[in-house]
Structure 1
Amino acid sequence: MLTLLDLFSGCGGLTLGSKMAGFVTELAVDIDPILSSSFGANFPATPFLAADVASLNSARLKALLPNGVSGVVGGPPCQAFSGMGKGLADDPRRSLLGEFFRIVSTVKPAFFLMENVPGLVFPNNRPVLDAAINSLGSSWEIIGPIILDASDFGAPTKRRRVFVFGFDKRKMRVPTLNDLVESDAYRVSVEDAIKDLTVASAVAGATDLWRYGSDSVVSPYAQKMRSSSGQFTGHQLTEHKPSTLERFALVPQGGVDPVGKYKRLSWAGLCPTLRAGTGSDRGSYQAVRPLHPVENRVITPRECARLQGFPDDFIFHSTVWHSCRMIGNSVSPIIAEALLRNIRNFLKGPSDNEML
């Protein structure tokens, strides 16, 4: 059985992607009670630890993972490295990058996968990454950092992120970069992703419960995302002021509202990177959501989730704000699945199908 330790799991984007790729998460860890609040609902069989990863010393990790794991995955908090934020050198979250690599050294998996924002490789941040990588032993073969876009792997969002991969040469065959990024995914548009939701209707008498409409054209992507029950949550429509609606009506597909900087999605295009905003500890700033291609409103959490690659039966927070924070902070399950499937191929022996 191929097993993982998922650090900074949030709502579970990497957890879902790894599950679809055939891995079992032995333990997920996150300290944020809001961003991880729905984790148990989505992964009831996965052990979850609400803790600061800095508290995971060798003895505690051994007790939590007595049989070790095949891999360690995670996306350390990115705000300290983001080009969108202040990127302060004294931001305590910068140290969490080193904690990820410390835990890799302690747990000794066969591989690791780390995701972060492109700002991590900016000149002022790169030394932090290099120092963390250099803390690993000589048995590790490192690939990256490399910037990958989720849209190249079948997600309908233009989401560029830095990935770093590491492989213990003593425990598995080492893939090449081409092996890791191989994908036969087709390009998925905004229309493919969310157009069928325009005819969804609220379930009478229920709170935040929706059912699919009788749309005769449902794309293969949307069909894959739909829940088997025919119902879903998280599709609350935002009510805007009349003056705001008038302003939105003037924004064409692909255009930008000059006042609020809302980008109007294009049916034929990709969704721009969905941002997370901040929690109450950082000022409670809400990230600007894109405008729907034809309706004069921002997109709903469920539409955000579809565009990020989450299926309709995935549960988020009961509020719009925190649901969108969860999605904006997550790794797209689609790119996670693709990368981990490619890694899985190298966890097999060179001449047979036996897992190492």
Structure 2
Amino acid sequence: MDNGKTTLATRPIAIDLFAGVGGFSLGIEQAGFDVLVAVESDPVHACAYKFNFPLTEVICQDITQVTADTIRQAALKAWIAHYKTDTLWDGKIDLVFGGPPCQGFSLMGKRLINDDRNHLVLEFCRLVLELNPRYFLMENVPGMVAGKHKTWLNKLKNKFKHHGYHSRAQILNAADFGVPQRRKRLFFCGAQAGIRIYFPKPVAGLVTVVDAIADLPDLDSFPELKTTDQVLLSFEQLAQAEQKISVYAQTLRESNYFAYPRAWNPQLLTSSLQTQHNQTSIARFAATIANQREPISQLRRLDLNGLCHTLRAGTGSDHGSHTSPRPIHPILPRVISVREAARLHSFPDWFRLHQTKWHGFRQVGNSVPPLLAQAVGKSIITSLALTPVSPQMVLTQGDLQLLRFDACHAKQYWLMNE
């Protein structure tokens, strides 16, 4: 990593309160912000975040135990240790953002008004008020504004208004912002007096499944992917893939927008561990037509020329460790890989996820699609009357062991690094 001075002083400062693996953070970074601190309670997700965002201080703690002072100390450490600037951080924060767990509000779940996870939105509110940013941004499911759950949003609006923030909420669909997936999410924004709130307008045209994954090779061609999630493509294989690549896929292989460029090897295909199906399942998958469910597994087959349905995360170990249904590949008789899911979610190819399929799919499904987050982030840049600056520092990602820890070892890692 280059240790020279950066343009940080001219980039606005952001804090991520429910970071997950970093999809939201990446989109906000792409819009022109520097994310100094990320808070994430799941140690496996926190490790993957640390791998992909080496400049960000990661706090792996339960959000209810995190204080504004802890975040400010971490932000100062990030500024001093990573940015090497002559000017000390003035303590001002432009944006606090995050997506509190949404299962209690989700239309797919039981929608219990007293679900413990619902109360995490109040923790978001608490830290926003303690940190006093110019702007805040919360992402959640549309179910938060349906039925009795509206009371939660009204409670938040009133509390923020009492402390000088005006706010707005709007539901956005990722497919309207260049993501090849139908995924509607609620964005609740607030700003201090005198700052207008804007929401992004949909972009023209749809990106489809074929745009997202047509250039990725057949995983069954690589025997090594039975036991590892990565394989080095030959120059010939890479050239064959590039002949099929779409404009969308090409943008996911390049340093773009206002994000820090990452050093990575385009020949290395990652997050591609095979799923081993029996012959009966393979035959059923092969017989399933596009956009229909296979009758036994109830898995839906992707339509090559359509949009992916919403990719979901399943549940963590604290709620039964249930695996979310994985779509069937539009051409091949198998479920999609983690990398294919990442492409359908607008993660760039340099972005690495946990080596196991279970954690990898959870990390994708729990994330805000980066391109959707970037669109909202650009609107905030406009609201704050800022001109984004492209950073010159090329980042080298972290230790690969961070993507290999099981939950127990990941927890030990953070206990040792507090």
Q: Give the match's secondary structure for 1:345.
A: helix
Q: Distance in 1 between matches of 2:110 and 2:345?
A: 25
- Mapping of residues 62-211 of structure 1, within 5 Å: 62-65=72-75, 67-138=91-162, 139-144=164-169, 146-170=170-194, 173-176=195-198, 180-199=199-218, 202=222, 207-210=228-231, 211=233
Matched, 1:5 2:15: yes
Amino acid at match of 1:219: S
Structure 1 partner of 2:266:
229
Give the number of aligned pairs: 346
Matched, 1:247 2:284: yes
Amino acid at match of 1:174: R
Structure 2 partner of 1:276:
313
Q: Distance in 2 between matches of 1:250 and 1:79?
A: 34
- Mapping of residues 252-331 of structure 1, within 5 Å: 252-331=289-368
Q: Give the match's secondary structure for 1:166.
A: strand
- 1:211-268 residue CA offsets vs partner (Å, 9 max, x unmatched): 3541322101111223652212111221112221222122111111122211110111
Q: Distance in 2 between matches of 1:348 and 1:287?
A: 41
> Which shifted more, 62-71 or 79-88?
62-71
The 4+ residue runs of structure 1 with deviation greater than 4 A are 203-206
Q: Give the match's secondary structure for 1:305.
A: helix
Aligned-residue CA RMSD (Å): 2.1
Q: Distance in 1 between matches of 2:46 and 2:371?
A: 19
Amino acid at match of 1:260: S
- Does the CA contact (< 8 Å) of 1:3 and 1:70 recur in 2? yes
Q: Distance in 1 between matches of 2:204 and 2:94?
A: 26
Amino acid at match of 1:245: I
Task: With the length of structure 2 as denominator, give the TM-score of the two structures.
Answer: 0.78
Deviation of the 1:208 alpha carbon: 2.3
> Which shifted more, 134-143 or 9-18?
134-143
Identity among equivalent positions (%) equals 38
Amino acid at match of 2:196: V
Matched, 1:48 2:73: no
> Which shifted more, 150-159 or 45-54?
45-54
Q: Distance in 1 between matches of 2:69 and 2:349?
A: 39
Q: Distance in 2 between matches of 1:203 and 1:341?
A: 43
Structure 2 partner of 1:20:
30
Q: Give the match's secondary structure for 1:130.
A: helix
- Does the CA contact (< 8 Å) of 1:183 and 1:338 recur in 2? no
- 1:328-350 residue CA offsets vs partner (Å, 9 max, x unmatched): 0000000101111121022127x
Amino acid at match of 1:149: N
Give unmatched runs, 5+ long, in structure 1.
none
Q: Which has the higher helix share?
A: 2
Q: Distance in 2 between matches of 1:186 and 1:267?
A: 16
Between 1 and 2, higher relative CO (CA 8 Å, sep ≥ 6) is seen in 2
Q: Distance in 2 between matches of 1:56 and 1:101?
A: 13
Q: Distance in 2 between matches of 1:264 and 1:18?
A: 32
Deviation of the 1:73 alpha carbon: 0.7
Structure 1 partner of 2:47:
37
Deviation of the 1:65 alpha carbon: 4.5
Q: Give the match's secondary structure for 2:215.
A: helix
Deviation of the 1:320 alpha carbon: 0.3
Q: Distance in 1 between matches of 2:359 and 2:217?
A: 23
Deviation of the 1:64 alpha carbon: 3.9
Q: Give the match's secondary structure for 2:118.
A: helix
- Does the CA contact (< 8 Å) of 2:273 and 2:356 recur in 1? no
- Does the CA contact (< 8 Å) of 1:189 and 1:269 recur in 2? yes
